Amino acid sequence: MTSPASGRADPGTRARPTTPAGPRAAVSPATLRRLELAAGGIAGACLAAMDRRQPWFRKLPAALRSGVQLVTQTGVANFVGWLVATGAGHPTAPATDPPAAGPGSVRPRRGRPDGVQADDTRPEDAEPESAGAGSGSVRLTAEAFRIAPRDLARRLTLRQTVELVRVATDVLEERLPPLAADDAEFRVLSEAVLRFGREVAFAAATAYAGAAEDRGAWDARLEALVVDGVVRGDAGDELISRASALGWDPAGAVRVLVGSPPAEHAAERLGELRRRAGRAGRSVLVGAQGNRLVVLLSCAGDGEPDTGPGNGDRSGDRPGDRPGDRHGDRNGDGLDAVLAALALDFGDGPLVVGPLAPDLATAHASARDALAGLRAAPGWPEAPRPVPADELLPERAFSGDAAAHRRLVETIVAPLADAGGELLRTLAAYLEGGSSLEGCARTLFVHPNTVRYRLRRVSELTGRTPTDPRDALVLRAALLAVRMARAEAGPEASGEPAARPPDAP
């Protein structure tokens, strides 16, 4: 409501102001006609300015330059159409009230001699015009980006698009206002350029946000396919191509981590996992597969990949070593720190780290061992977290993992057999005699110092100390595995008699 005497709005009934979508004063039909005729020239001037002020624009392929030209011409044409649709929507009216306000129109304010719409319109009067012109301006500006070639948003960065929008806005500010018939229209056109430039900026941001969301969804699907391919053992060109599309180096060494996914805020936790890996200079591919979370961790620079089933050289392992020292890390505690940080974003439960694979094509072996370790991890409740898959060899062998059987034989029994049968016999007598030096010496009819020497040699060759309870379990599991393998092979396959051979433990 307004006061008849002053024409001012009554504070008691003042409605919320609405933001007008169009110019605040009338633009004459002649000026609008001049704008329509000048639209083509303005679009051409925008492209010429882009070519002159942005050196990279001249180097774009012809198809991309054509796409930019299409967007520019559509944007300028839409701007002129916006002015035509809204610029005459606020005509100068006489001081008397109009006879009636039709649907979709806004009644001018009483008490204002110029008849120009005030900011504090009544909601029921202002809503139709706000919805029509405002939404129309957004639709027109967004349309310029919707018709652009799809490749344009992928080839032009958001920074480059903002630079082009700035150039186009500068040209509009230079070319449009001189077409005004008087100072009032000059101000209206200047303000219209700013308003339309704002809408264009938001439309560009929306277009790039949509492209980023689409790319993110596509990358997530591609990432899941790569992780699934590694788990299933795919090693073809398709796996390499997908990984390369994600920016992964297929020739780089990789480890596979397997654990449980976070129970709460999974998206945020997995995002933090990626950021932790990025801060450590690593790349990760993440795949949530039901109740397990599989992560591929790039390990370029961690040293030589694990050689053979035995996880490489283990001569430096001792009972006092940290669990992470058996990962094959050649860079001190760098890998240990990365694994400890990534473990924070897994769910509760065991986290198993597979052996180092030389490249992505062979990463299935690391995934296979990590998954087998995860299944067997309940057999060692006190296992460190994360735990290498090769530290779970006894539990894996007892759960029926044939690869664990072979690895126990190849990494423990084979080196001892190559060094002579006395080491195997001494180890078997020591472990089966209750880990007693004197009892072992009496069984073998040797001096206790001889037993000490042979056990020290066992530790040097296998990296396992027979006097450590956990290592003793691994060593005994290896002895059981070789006995079972020989029994299954039979005398014909082994070339030995069915009775216990002289050098067998």
- Can you spell out the DSSP letters for 256-296? EEEEPPPSSSHHHHHHHHHHHHHHTT--EEEEEETTEEEEE
Indicate the burial class of 25 (C-beta count within 10 angstroms; 0-12, 13-18, 19 or more): middle
Residue 245, amino acid: A
Mean pLDDT is highest, among 4-13, 98-107, 265-274, for 265-274
Q: 463 with 366, same domain?
A: no
Q: 124 with 85, same domain?
A: yes
Q: 167 with 260, same domain?
A: no
Give the span between the Cα atoms of 251 and 278, in whole angstroms: 19
Task: Give the 3-state secondary structure of 181-238.
Answer: CCHHHHHHHHHHHHHHHHHHHHHHHHHHHHHHHHHHHHHHHHHHHHHHHHHHCCCCHH
Give the span between the Cα atoms of 87 and 99, in whole angstroms: 23
Q: pLDDT digits over 206-260, tens only? A: 777 776 776 667 778 888 899 999 999 988 888 999 889 888 999 999 999 999 9
Question: What residue numbers bound the domain in which 363 lies?
Answer: 233-396
Q: 193 with 276, same domain?
A: no
Note the pTM of the prediction, 2 decimals: 0.58
Q: What is the pLDDT of residue 488?
A: 81
Closest CA to 417 of 482, 359, 477, 352: 482
Pairing label, strands 352-353, 284-289: unpaired
Determine which of 148-162, 264-278, 406-420, 456-470 has the lowest per-residue pLDDT on average: 148-162
Q: 202 with 257, same domain?
A: no
Question: Quick one: CA torsion of 348, 349, 353, 354, rounded to 10 degrees?
Answer: -130
Q: Which residue has the higher pLDDT, 18 or 71?
A: 71
Q: Is residue 505 part of a domain?
A: no
Q: 258 with 184, same domain?
A: no
Closest CA to 474 of 377, 384, 409: 409
CATH code (residue 260): 3.30.70.2730
Q: 43 with 191, same domain?
A: yes
**Could you say which of 350, 378, 396 is where a domain stops?**
396
Q: 388 with 410, same domain?
A: no
Q: Is residue 31 part of a domain?
A: yes
Q: 37 with 70, same domain?
A: yes
CA 224 to chain centre: 11
- Give the list of residues 6+ apart from residue 161 with CB closer than 8 angstroms, or none: 204, 208
**Could you say which of 396, 414, 449 is where a domain stops?**
396
Q: Is residue 347 part of a domain?
A: yes
Give the span between the Cα atoms of 166 and 171, in whole angstroms: 9
CATH code (residue 477): 1.10.10.2840
Q: What is the pLDDT of residue 404?
A: 93
CB 178 within 8 Å of CB 35: no
Cα–Cα distances (Å) from 281 to 85, 270, 299, 353, in that order, read 55, 17, 10, 18
Q: pLDDT digits over 471-497, tens only? A: 999 999 999 999 888 888 765 544 443
Give the span between the Cα atoms of 227 and 286, in whole angstroms: 7
* Mean pLDDT value of segment 413-425: 90
Q: What is the mean pLDDT of the chain?
A: 75
Q: Is residue 226 part of a domain?
A: no
Q: What percent helix, strand, coil does the chain show, rounded to 5? A: 60, 5, 35
Q: 378 with 438, same domain?
A: no
Q: Is residue 227 part of a domain?
A: no
Q: What is the pLDDT of residue 73?
A: 82
Q: 275 with 363, same domain?
A: yes
Residue 212, amino acid: A
Q: Is residue 64 part of a domain?
A: yes
Q: Is residue 110 part of a domain?
A: no
Which segments within 343-449 are labelled E, that is strand? 352-353, 387-388
Integer distance in angstroms from the first to the last C-alpha of the chain? 105
Q: What is the pLDDT of residue 72?
A: 81
Number of domains in the chain: 3
**Could you say which of 176, 211, 246 is where a domain stops?**
211
Q: What is the pLDDT of residue 106?
A: 39
Give the span between the Cα atoms of 64 and 160, in whole angstroms: 13
Q: What is the pLDDT of residue 154?
A: 66
Q: pLDDT digits over 333-350, tens only? A: 488 899 999 999 999 999
- Number of helices and strands in the chain (H, E): 19, 5
Indicate the burial class of 269 (C-beta count within 10 angstroms; 0-12, 13-18, 19 or more): middle
Q: DSSP secondary-structure letter at 464?
A: -
Give the span between the Cα atoms of 133 and 183, in whole angstroms: 24
CB 373 within 8 Å of CB 404: no
Q: Is residue 220 part of a domain?
A: no
Q: 324 with 176, same domain?
A: no
